[in-house]
Amino acid sequence: MKSKNDNQEQKLVTGAEALILSLMKEGVETIFGYPGGAIMPVYDALYDHCDSIHHILTRHEQGATHAAQGFARVSGKVGVSLVTSGPAATNAMTGIADALLDSTPLVVITGQVGTSLLGTDAFQEIDVVGITQPITKWSYQIRYAKDIPWAVARAFYIAKSGRPGPVVLDFAKSAQTEMVEFDYKPCSFIRSYIPYPKIKETQIEEAAKLINSAKKPLALVGQGVILGGAEQELKEFLEKADIPAASTLLGLSAMPTDFRLNKGFLGMHGNVAPNMKTNECDVLIAIGMRFDDRVTGDLNTYAKQAKIIHLDIDKSEIGKNVPVDAPVVGSVKESLPALTAKVNPGKHTEWIESFAEYDKKEYDAVIEKEVYRFEGEITMGEIVHKVSEAINHEAVVVTDVGQNQMMAARYSQYTKTRSLVTSGGLGTMGFGLPAAMGAKVGAPDRTVCMFAGDGGFQMTIQELGTIMQEKLGVKMIVMDNRFLGMVRQWQELFFDERYSFTHMDNPDFVAIAKAYNINGKLVTKREELDDAIADMLKDDKPYLLVVEVEQKGMVYPMIPAGTCVTNIIMNNGN
């Protein structure tokens, strides 16, 4: 029979082991990472738990954080990445900052020099906490093994609760090798941190009063609906009150594209009707969105005629950019049903039908020429449209940043939630490929289609090695115009066509993919496109489809930055 001391001895583990056990207690099954000296004890401990935690070796630390983002965005779980100290930690910063601006729950664990070396400018020492405090929800340095379970529990609670976001744990090497008696307690409360504010009945009543008196209401739907799991609550609210709605970039798949009250995409390259109607409505209902400048344009001219209702879990967002008449602070999962109970059944038929006039103008001036062109160079819009049709609008759409991003957002259709993964707030080129890897891991049963331009694709092209090693069936579509397309578009419109350093000579992308044992095809003619898309989608293996598109294609409509949302450019002539 074992003694009490024997049981205690069984619980005695290294700090590195304590970290792995803590992650397992939090239900972590996947880690994206890259080993190195200051995190090596953790990797040694991980070696004994490969049956419980699948570690995916990315080819760059930025790729690890973006992959963790893609995983989190489609799965709803916390994404985890593990890197070493110094340059590895700084390489991870872009993904951490991206996750903060897009409210993505991450826990990023960085190695650090031992406590006796802190502050000495030791090899690969960098002040990770100092750097990451402005771009995280919480950043903490673990100096003692006894603090590991507490820090991990707190990190996961902060990352996933309330408005999600990234957390960084900077793990001193000495703490990794210390012995500690392992005892894990999940975290569910932190004093002064209130992730789910209690909804005030008076706020609900004031918002309902404005909605019930509205003749021309318009709802703006953000990613908060998806993060809060409130897609059904949103639909019930809109249907009862008969309110048309439009989505921000990150909120696009919160409503099915064909939902009767879904009026499209807001913002700089969004649909004409919802942008124009923003300055025609009498009540504007913002739901889980933050009034980003790409949505509002010039704040001095934005929706001045409307009463503003703003539902958001983060009190700091309310009134930050746009003055609000009726704030509703709390999770939209709770506030939307409370509001639905108070609003009267509505009927705004004439108002809803008035969107059609703008829809027709956009179709005639932009969509028909972009999507249904039958001559000339291949367009980005027709590629996205054909891929979406071929997969019955059920894919997870992952984008890089630039013209490819706006085209993918505009011309994909969505039937399921969590179907668009893109870098919104930070606009990170190079995001697409590693995020698509993570999305495929997070949603292995869904088709993942990644759209990128030739510029962004080359920023993280080394992650083809991860795709090869993990056999991730990501469908990669590179729309190659031999330009940094969005920058070139601005140069054409606002810099007198002075194309300063935006032209690119590109390699043979298909040959590069082949070197990674990934099948691919180059399409240069329109008549080849349908068959190439079919070949790409026919099995679950990774595939690279490169399509040469028009060199000087434009993303229209476009609202020039900093102007009124109704100042819409429809084409080169207007």
The predicted-structure confidence for 489-536, as pLDDT tens digits, reads as follows 999 999 999 999 999 999 999 999 999 999 999 999 999 999 999 999
How far separated are the first and last CA of the chain, in Å rounded? 86
Cβ proximity of 161 and 153 under 8 Å: no
Question: What residue spans of 3-92 are helical by DSSP H?
Answer: 4-11, 15-25, 40-46, 61-75, 87-91
Cβ proximity of 217 and 282 under 8 Å: yes
| Stretch 65-88: mean pLDDT | 98
Share of the chain above pLDDT 70, in %: 98
β-bridge partners, 479 = 453, 547
Do strands 179-181 and 12-14 pair parallel, antiparallel, or not at all (unpaired)? antiparallel
Hey, is 250 helix, strand or coil?
coil
Which residues contact residue 405 at a Cβ distance below 8 angstroms, ignoring those fewer than 6 apart?
399, 422, 423, 451
Please give the angle made by the CA atoms of 6, 182 and 49, to the nearest 5 degrees. Answer: 100
Share of the chain above pLDDT 90, in %: 97
| Cα–Cα dist 270/282, whole Å | 21
Cβ proximity of 183 and 18 under 8 Å: no
Candidates 245, 240, 239, 236; CA nearest to 217 is 245
Distances 469 to 59, 181, 273, 463, 473 between C-alpha atoms, Å: 11, 37, 46, 10, 11
| Cα–Cα dist 554/488, whole Å | 9
DSSP line for 5-22: HHHHHHHEEEHHHHHHHH
H/E stretch holding 210 = helix 201-213
For residue 5, pLDDT beyond 80 = no
Q: What is the pLDDT, as a whole number, of residue 334? A: 98
For residue 574, pLDDT beyond 70 = no
| Cα–Cα dist 284/127, whole Å | 44
| Cα–Cα dist 527/54, whole Å | 42
Which band of pLDDT confidence, cut at 50, 70 and 90, is reported for residue 374? Answer: confident
Tally of residues, the chain: 574
Which band of pLDDT confidence, cut at 50, 70 and 90, is reported for residue 153? Answer: very high
| Cα–Cα dist 220/287, whole Å | 6
492-512: buried (b, 16+ CB within 10 Å) or exposed (e) per residue? beeeeeeeeebebeeeebbeb
Q: What is the pLDDT, as a whole number, of residue 10? A: 53
- Measured in degrees and rounded to the nearest 5, phi and psi for residue 136 equal -140, 165
DSSP structural state of residue 463: G
Q: What are the residue numbers of the active site?
A: 61, 123-124, 173, 486
Do strands 217-221 and 245-247 pair parallel, antiparallel, or not at all (unpaired)? parallel
| Cα–Cα dist 146/257, whole Å | 50
| Cα–Cα dist 190/251, whole Å | 29
| Six token digits for residue 455 | 């510029």
| Stretch 296-323: mean pLDDT | 97
The model's pLDDT over 251-296, given as tens digits with 9 standing for 90+, comes to 999 999 999 999 999 999 999 999 999 999 999 999 999 999 999 9
Hey, is 559 helix, strand or coil?
coil
Cβ proximity of 520 and 546 under 8 Å: yes
| Cα–Cα dist 489/472, whole Å | 34
| Six token digits for residue 276 | 């124009």
DSSP line for 477-546: EEEE-SB-HHHHHHHHHHSTT--TT-B-----HHHHHHHTT-EEEEE-SGGGHHHHHHHHHSSSS-EEEE
| Cα–Cα dist 67/58, whole Å | 8
Q: What is the pLDDT, as a whole number, of residue 573? A: 58
| Six token digits for residue 220 | 């703006």
H/E stretch holding 60 = none
Hey, is 132 helix, strand or coil?
helix
Mean pLDDT for the chain? Answer: 96
The model's pLDDT over 288-298, given as tens digits with 9 standing for 90+, comes to 999 999 999 99
For residue 433, pLDDT beyond 90 = yes
| Cα–Cα dist 234/229, whole Å | 10
Distances 503 to 400, 481, 487, 499 between C-alpha atoms, Å: 18, 9, 10, 8
For residue 164, pLDDT beyond 50 = yes
Least confident of 374-378, 486-490, 495-499: 374-378
Neighbours of 389 (CB within 10 A): 13
Task: Record the pTM.
Answer: 0.96
DSSP structural state of residue 345: P
Residue indicated by tokens 């066509």: 497
Candidates 81, 175, 166, 79; CA nearest to 131 is 166
